[in-house]
Structure 1
Amino acid sequence: MQIYLAPMEGVMDDVMRDLLTRRGNFDLCMTEFVRVSDGLLPNRVFRRYCPELALGGKTPSGTPVRIQLLGQDPELLAENAARAISLGSQGIDLNFGCPAKTVNKSRGGAILLQSTAQIERIVASVRAAIPSSSQLSVKIRLGWEDCQLAEDNALAIEGAGANSLIIHGRTKAQGYLPPADWRRIGKIRSHLKIPVIANGDIWSPDDYRQCRDESGCDDIMLGRGALRMPNLAAQIKGANRGVKIPPDDWQAIKIELGYFYRLTMRSRNRAYFANRTKQWLAQLALRHPKAKEAFNRIRKLTSDQEIVRVLWQHSSDLI
């Protein structure tokens, strides 16, 4: 089995990828989407979204990182995909799943699920522009308002040359409302020869087993589940080997928060430490009561040092 780390916009930057992959249980990461709308992007844009390019396209712990592109113009996406590969991206991922209104208004993300022909043109153009040895993955949802085009879209993606397909088990209209439809992922998978990776509502090893049984997918992508439980990938892989790995307790989470602080202070996103910490604690709070207490203590704070003082009492604990 393989576990991918999801490309969550505004969340899964290089700091979070480093933090979550250093335990060695993720097999691949995607970057936050790089929007392609007007010409060939400068190299610095790719390096900003994927600082791991300086490490050969891998996180410091060695997990491959794949640049995700979002757009609607086949030629522009192809041109930028070729550039990303030349800079060291470990393949290309195409985003046809983003449900954000601002993205969809510009004809990017999930809105393209309404146009099978456009999806096919994009995938074919990108496939032709990058080396045959480079992996091309595509991320979709089940559809826009319904699933009527799900199989058509998937078959078009496969026929145009994608190496794998990641399916989030909801339509755009469903947003993130539970439950994810793993059985529908399985129905799509039954029509394809390329690997299908299931995504959505996997919060525990038991969820993984149920998803695998319903979808037939051995491989999965984790997003919010990994944020709420940083060792979820380890738990799932352990259970797959018959080894029970306990969930992280609050003490382990505090260590991860300290690591997050140190990494962020050295990164391009250091100015966002306060907001990113609150954002992550809000997710952690859904699994850890003490994280909820911590979030409530810092939610009105704006100073990095005040947040550090409240969470750890002495900033020297983190240095």
Structure 2
Amino acid sequence: MRLILAPMEGVLDHLMRDLLTRLNPFDLCVTEFVRVVDMRLPPRVFHRLCPELHQGCKTPAGTPVRIQLLGQEPDWLAENADQACRLGAEGIDLNFGCPAKTVNKHRGGAALLADSEQLYRIGKAVRAAVPAHLPVSAKIRLGLEQRDSYLENSQALADAGISELAVHARSKKDGYRPPAWWPLVAEIRQRLTIPVIVNGEIWSAEQAAQAQQQSGCADVMLGRGALALPNLAATIKTGGAAMTWPEVIELLQTYSGLEVAGDKGMYYPNRIKQWLNYLKLQYTEARELFAAIRTLTHTDDIRRVLDNMRAEG
């Protein structure tokens, strides 16, 4: 069984990858997407989204990081896959799952699920550009408007030579509304000979086991659930207890130090509120904390609230 930390644009950046891989036995992380249009991007773009390139493409805890590309042009995606690998990437992931309107209107992300031939062309071009010893993976959803193209699309990518496939078990139209259709992933798993990774609506160790059983997949990708319960991967893999709220407060303070010391400190107030919106799904205390900082815009004020809450136990 492998546990993979999903890519989530604007959320699971290198600081959050650092934090969560310290806490959990993740086997792999995938970066936020690098947007590819019509040029070979300069190294600084890859280094900004994947600073781990400077340390063997691993988080400080030693978890491998794979760079994700998003675009629609096979040749330019191949060019940038080559660029990423020359910079030290340990593998490439292709984004065919992002449901964002701003991405889809330019035929990126989930919009390509309507064109299996283009998926094949992209997969084949990128696989040819990446050294044979490095993996090329992809992430898809079950379809665009309906859950109806997953077998055709997954087969096209497998035929193109990708190494493994992650499947978010919903359509683009489904968004993030439950349920996740894990049994449909089983149809993909039965069809393909490459590894298939199940993703979607996994908030607990019990749901992870259900997703594995219903999908037939050994490997699991965690996204929102890993933010709502920060040691979710550890509870799945080792059977440990969920973090207590005092432990979460301590973690939030550690995260605050990383954010403020890093190059994203100016975004800290928004980032901490964003994370609390996920934590509220698992911890009732997070609602009280969110209410206390909701109107605060200065980092020092927010950190003071955290310090006081920790002192109060």
The yes-or-no answer on 1:312 pairing with 2:307 is yes
Q: Is the 8 A contact 2:24 2:231 kept in 1?
A: no
Query: Given residue 253 of structure 2, which amino acid in structure 1 is its aligned partner?
Result: G
RMSD: 1.2
The yes-or-no answer on 1:144 pairing with 2:144 is yes
- Partner SS state of residue 30, structure 1: strand
Decide whether aligned partners of structure 1 residues 307 and 191 sit closer, same or farther in structure 2, where only a CA change above 3 A counts. same
The CA deviation string for residues 63-122 of structure 1, in whole angstroms up to 9 with x for no partner, is 000110000000000000011011111200000000000000011000000000000000
Number of the residue aligned with 1:248:
243
Find the aligned partners of 2:24 and 2:306 in 1 and give their Cα distance. Answer: 27
Runs of 4+ that moved beyond 6 A: none
Deviation at 1:266, TM superposition (A): 2.2
The yes-or-no answer on 1:105 pairing with 2:100 is no
Deviation at 1:38, TM superposition (A): 2.2
Alignment map for 1:162-201 (pairs within 5 Å)? 162-201=162-201
Q: Is the 8 A contact 2:253 2:306 kept in 1?
A: no
Find the aligned partners of 2:85 and 2:288 in 1 and give their Cα distance. Answer: 44
Q: Is the 8 A contact 2:24 2:233 kept in 1?
A: no
- Partner SS state of residue 23, structure 2: coil
Deviation at 1:147, TM superposition (A): 2.5
* Structure 1: gaps (5+ residues): 240-244
Deviation at 1:235, TM superposition (A): 0.3
Query: Given residue 109 of structure 1, which amino acid in structure 2 is its aligned partner?
Result: G
Find the aligned partners of 1:165 and 1:314 in 2 and give their Cα distance. Answer: 43
Q: Is the 8 A contact 1:232 1:247 kept in 2?
A: yes
Query: Given residue 3 of structure 1, which amino acid in structure 2 is its aligned partner?
Result: L
Query: Given residue 53 of structure 1, which amino acid in structure 2 is its aligned partner?
Result: L
Q: Is the 8 A contact 1:94 1:137 kept in 2?
A: yes
* Structure 2: gaps (5+ residues): none
Find the aligned partners of 1:105 and 1:61 in 2 and give their Cα distance. Answer: 37
Number of the residue aligned with 2:60:
60
Query: Given residue 204 of structure 2, which amino acid in structure 1 is its aligned partner?
Result: S
The yes-or-no answer on 1:271 pairing with 2:266 is yes
Q: Is the 8 A contact 1:8 1:32 kept in 2?
A: yes
Find the aligned partners of 1:24 and 1:56 in 2 and give their Cα distance. Answer: 20
Deviation at 1:285, TM superposition (A): 1.1
Find the aligned partners of 1:31 and 1:158 in 2 and give their Cα distance. Answer: 22
Number of the residue aligned with 1:282:
277
Alignment map for 1:7-46 (pairs within 5 Å)? 7-46=7-46
Size of the aligned set, in residue pairs, is 311
Query: Given residue 258 of structure 2, which amino acid in structure 1 is its aligned partner?
Result: L
Deviation at 1:150, TM superposition (A): 1.1
Find the aligned partners of 1:23 and 1:203 in 2 and give their Cα distance. Answer: 16
Q: Identity, % of aligned pairs?
A: 53
The CA deviation string for residues 15-47 of structure 1, in whole angstroms up to 9 with x for no partner, is 000000012410000000110012000100000
The CA deviation string for residues 197-253 of structure 1, in whole angstroms up to 9 with x for no partner, is 0000111111011111100011000000000001100000013xxxxx111011110
The CA deviation string for residues 178-213 of structure 1, in whole angstroms up to 9 with x for no partner, is 000000011111100000000001111110111111
- Partner SS state of residue 142, structure 2: strand
Q: Is the 8 A contact 1:67 1:93 kept in 2?
A: yes
